[in-house]
Amino acid sequence: MLSVLIWAPIIASLIIGFWPNNSIQPNRLRLVSLTLSGLILLWNLFILLKFDLSNPGMQFQEYLPWNETLGLSYQLGVDGLSILMLILNSLLTWIAIYTSSQQTERPRLFYSMILLVSGGVAGAFLSENLLLFFLFYELELIPFYLLISIWGGEKRAYAGIKFLIYTAVSGALILATFLGMVWLTGSTSFACDAVSTQTLSAGMQLLLLSGIILGFGIKIPLVPFHTWLPDAYVEASAPIAILLGGVLAKLGTYGLLRFGMGMFPQAWSTVAPTLAIWGAISAIYGAVVAIAQKDIKRMVAYSSIGHMGYVLLASAASTALALVGAVSQMFSHGIILAILFHLVGVVEAKVGTRELDKLNGLMSPIRGIPLISALLVLSGMASAGIPGLTGFIAEFIVFQGSFSVFPIPTILCVVASGLTAVYFVILLNRTCFGKLDNDLAYYPKVLWSEKMPALILAALIIFLGVQPTWLVRWSEPTTTAMVAAITPSEKTVISEVALK
């Protein structure tokens, strides 16, 4: 069942890439990919329906032996931590293909790479084997490099290489840590459930955990390792930016939760205070730097750094509530970032600039682009944490869950949330409001098909904001079980080790 999510896109990508006829029109290719990813999305929703809410463990497991010498097995499973990420992945893939331009150059490579990425990300979220996870994690490297540096903005070559190197370093760190985890614990297999780090000394656990944090911290990205992000997000075209920010960043936080917190419960409580402060610094930094930007895409990119800081805070707090908040924040950040990047892409395509100093009065009902501006206001508000929208729900759960553990970092994050509102107000004020320039304002019409993805995402944002059960119910049992594994049993684990 789960294999379909990985292999359908990968096989489709190979067929599209190697199709012998060279003269296929971009339009038709786009339709084919759109249908395919739509079907995968439906299949994913079907899995969501079948998902057993009372079971905190892995579901729909699949197992095939692969390479026993390496301890690599094809082992899949989905739980509350990954189910929403899977949906996010297939939803955003569909939207990215939908928003891709009808006249894309070299369409075969483009759609082939997008589908390959989609299958790879699904594989990473589903893997229950460390090495299999790493394989899928590294699989994204080259397709994303090509997607950025072929179909990007002016400085795309630089941004692509920078992304490539940062991600490759992150991969090397993660692989080193995985090798260490498996070998030092004396396990013969890389399967997640076969590795138990409890037997290691505290110092060793800390060392390995810091490898995980640094490796995934580059991908999330945490503040000193974030410098690839503004370049990559800004230079990538809108559909690619949606995938990059919406899906790929989640791979980092997911890895941190699954392999950091899930596999090092003891060491995690030691580093948690540091992580909480780190998350708060990330959030404040992202917000402050976003205020200073003059380019709306860059603003949105920095907002992403800030929002991922909240996830880090919540994971550090690791109360049941905070973890639900972390997963919700990952999902809602994914859809909010997607709608923002899409709208920014539409504005750039219609108006021809992304500069705050040149944009003005887009709200004007006749000659402006009013619906897009309205949606931009809505999504800016969602990002800033206005109640009634999904961003508020997620952030509120995060703050509520973390306050009891780390009050000061939580307050800092609330301040950062306020600063988010500041720069979004700046953004909206300078783009949507004001007066149109009479000489330049002859914008092309926004087609209905271009508004569609934004409307769908906006509906989703409002729905999940009003009816948040649908956001949180999936991850509750799993996160509760994870927290139970950390806190109360900590003493028993230590006593067990002492007894040995």
Partner 1 sequence: MDFANLASQLNAGTILPEGIVITTLLGVLIVDLILGRTSARWIGYLAIAGLLAAVVALYYQWDAVNPISFSGGFTGDDLSIVFRGIIALSAVVTILMSIRYVEQSGTALAEFIAILLTATLGGMFLSGASELVMIFISLETLSISSYLLTGYTKRDPRSNEAALKYLLIGAASTAVFLYGVSLLYGLSGGQTELSAIANGIITANVGQSLGLVISLVFIIAGIGFKISAAPFHQWTPDVYEGAPTPVIAFLSVGSKAAGFALAIRLLTTVFPMVADEWRFVFTALAILSMILGNVVALAQTSMKRMLAYSSIAQAGFVMIGLIAGTEAGYASMVFYLMVYLFMNLCGFTCVILFSLRTGTDQIAEYSGLYQKDPLLTLGLSISLLSLGGIPPLAGFFGKIYLFWAGWQAGLYGLVLLGLVTSVISIYYYIRVVKMMVVKEPQEMSDVVKNYPEVRWNLPGLRPLQVGLVVSLIATSIAGILSNPLFTLANNSISHTQILQATTAEVSTVSLKEPEQL
Q: Which residues bind partner 1 (CB under 8 A)?
A: 66-67, 69-70, 109, 131, 134-136, 138-139, 141-142, 145-146, 149-150, 157, 160-161, 164-165, 168-169, 171-172, 175-176, 179-180, 183-184, 186, 201, 204
Q: How far is the CB of 263 from partner 1 (least distance, A)?
A: 18
Q: Which CB sits closer to partner 1, 237 or 293?
A: 237
Q: Which CB sits closer to partner 1, 160 or 217?
A: 160
Q: How far is the CB of 255 from partner 1 (least distance, A)?
A: 16
Q: How far is the CB of 393 from partner 1 (least distance, A)?
A: 37
Q: Which CB sits closer to partner 1, 201 or 469?
A: 201
Q: How far is the CB of 139 from partner 1 (least distance, A)?
A: 5
Q: How far is the CB of 364 from partner 1 (least distance, A)?
A: 37
Q: Which CB sits closer to partner 1, 142 or 415?
A: 142
The number of helices, as runs of H, and strands, as runs of E, in the chain is: 21, 2
Q: How far is the CB of 19 from partner 1 (least distance, A)?
A: 12
Q: How far is the CB of 156 from partner 1 (least distance, A)?
A: 8
Q: Which CB sits closer to partner 1, 44 or 73?
A: 73
Q: Which CB sits closer to partner 1, 164 or 338?
A: 164
Q: Which CB sits closer to partner 1, 148 or 483?
A: 148
